[in-house]
Amino acid sequence: MSGEQQIINTLLAELDAAAAANPKMNAAYLEDILFTQLLSRLAARRTEKDILHQVQYHLTFEQRNLSKDEFVVTRGC
């Protein structure tokens, strides 16, 4: 597992723990905010078409992933 993936896994675990620790926290809304922030970050360096393609690709992968393989993002090296 890449160092980048380990960082993301840690951050998501912290997000889940923070949501679970606060009963007033809306976990679904928290995820919506996270998604919006990620889109804003991507928009700073990618075109809208590129972002839409990436989202569509991931959704299609999840729908067709009959073997339940883990999706892997490479650095393009």
The rounded distance, in Å, linking the Cα atoms of 7 and 13 is 10
Cα 26 to chain centroid distance, Å, stands at 18
The rounded distance, in Å, linking the Cα atoms of 12 and 15 is 5
CA 47-5-17 angle, to 5 degrees, is: 105
Give me the pLDDT at residue 67, please.
55
Give me the pLDDT at residue 43, please.
96
pLDDT-derived band of residue 61, with 50, 70 and 90 as boundaries? Answer: confident
Give per-residue pLDDT as tens, 1-39. 788 999 999 999 999 999 999 989 998 999 999 999 999
For residue 69, pLDDT beyond 90: no
Of 15, 4, 7, nearest in space to 77 by CA: 4
